[in-house]
Amino acid sequence: MSRRRRAESHGNHERWLVSYADFVTLLFAFFVMLYAHSKTNTVEAQRISQAFREAMEQGRVSQAISRMLKVGPGPNVPAPAVPLQQAAPPAHEDDIDALAGAVDLMPSLHQLNDKLQKEISEGRLEIRMERRGLVISLREATLFPSGGEIVEASTLPMLEVIAREVRTHPNPIRMEGHTDSVPIRTARFRSNWELSAARAIAMLELYSQQFGLDRSRMSIGGFGDTAPVASNDTQEGRNRNRRVDIVVLNEVAAAQDPKRPK
């Protein structure tokens, strides 16, 4: 009985390597993204993205981790019961593409944060990186009159800065309208769904006609109050939820969109 217990204990001895390998992989990805964030050269960021993707797909990251951990038979470290490559499989292809896509879009995040620093500090917009891509979130109070969908002329210089930056990428762009949870019913809009969709369409028309973005790159979504970024129980939360998001999709999110005819 004691011999069986010793054997079972020995078989579990190397399980910590799996979690440690995952941690080191994520840490490596984090430093790659930090490096890309410090660079404003889009070509260089794309090279980093491609190199990272190839390394993940070909298993070179896992091999490097294995060398660091000194996995394998030796006088002091017994061989794991399950090889590291089987216990910690390579990252999923979607995860690789999402990380690579974030690297591609990091220079634009950096540029927009610099060029729109005043507007950001005034609370007129927020810029963030999400799993689906780069999100530029514009407050309703910045863009539209209450309950309306006509873009305020005073916002055009700010919107042009965004247009020039997103034009540097071939990625699809999605205009997303959002509202708070307070019901609306006017002569023009019967619900928040209609208002949010109308605002998304207004942004698409503006970016196409005023700033010359290719309409085939863009799509719209009206989400009503179904995708809040803050609580609708406070005025500040409702102010944040009333917004239009300009989303520059990365490869993973673009692949999940309906295919356009060629």
Asked whether the beta carbons of 252 and 98 are under 8 A apart, the reply is: yes
Has residue 39 been placed in a domain?
A: yes
Has residue 261 been placed in a domain?
A: no
Q: Please tell me whether residues 181 and 120 are part of one structural domain.
A: yes
Q: Please tell me whether residues 122 and 242 are part of one structural domain.
A: yes
Residue 256 phi/psi, 5-degree rounding, is -85, -10
Torsion of Cα atoms, 36 then 41 then 44 then 49, to 10°: 40
**Domain limits for position 148:** 116-256
Residue 29 has pLDDT above 60, yes or no: yes
Among 83-87, 205-209, 232-236, name the one with the lowest average pLDDT.
Answer: 83-87
> How high does pLDDT run on average in the chain?
77
The DSSP-derived string for 32-101 is: HHHHHHT---HHHHHHHHHHHHHHHHTTHHHHHHHHHHT-S--SSSPPPSS-HHHHSPPPPHHHHHHHHH
Can you read off the two tokens belonging to residue 40? 């404003």
Say which CATH number the domain at 209 has. Answer: 3.30.1330.60
* Nearest by Cα to 17 from 89, 88, 91, 92: 88
Q: Please tell me whether residues 10 and 67 are part of one structural domain.
A: yes
- Predicted local distance difference test score (pLDDT) of residue 73: 41
Has residue 109 been placed in a domain?
A: no
Q: Please tell me whether residues 125 and 187 are part of one structural domain.
A: yes
Q: Please list the alpha-helical segments (H only) found in the chain.
A: 2-11, 16-37, 42-57, 60-69, 84-87, 93-115, 117-121, 140-143, 156-166, 192-209, 235-241, 251-256
Residue 17 has pLDDT above 90, yes or no: no
**pLDDT confidence band for 103 (50 / 70 / 90):** confident
Can you read off the two tokens belonging to residue 195? 């208002």
Question: Residues 5-15: pLDDT tens digits?
Answer: 555 555 555 56
Q: Please tell me whether residues 133 and 250 are part of one structural domain.
A: yes
Q: Please tell me whether residues 146 and 249 are part of one structural domain.
A: yes
Has residue 30 been placed in a domain?
A: yes
Residue 81 has pLDDT above 90, yes or no: no
Q: Please tell me whether residues 94 and 120 are part of one structural domain.
A: no
- Taken in order 58, 61, 62, 67, the sign of the CA dihedral is positive
pTM across the whole model: 0.67
Residue 52 has pLDDT above 90, yes or no: no
Number of domains in the chain: 2
- Predicted local distance difference test score (pLDDT) of residue 248: 96
Please indicate whether residue 190 or residue 63 has the higher confidence score (pLDDT). Answer: 190
Domain termination residue (choose one: 98, 124, 158): 98
Q: Please tell me whether residues 58 and 127 are part of one structural domain.
A: no
Q: Which residue has the tokens 């993707």?
A: 53
- Residues making up the chain, counted from first to last: 262
Q: Which residue has the tokens 């054997």?
A: 7
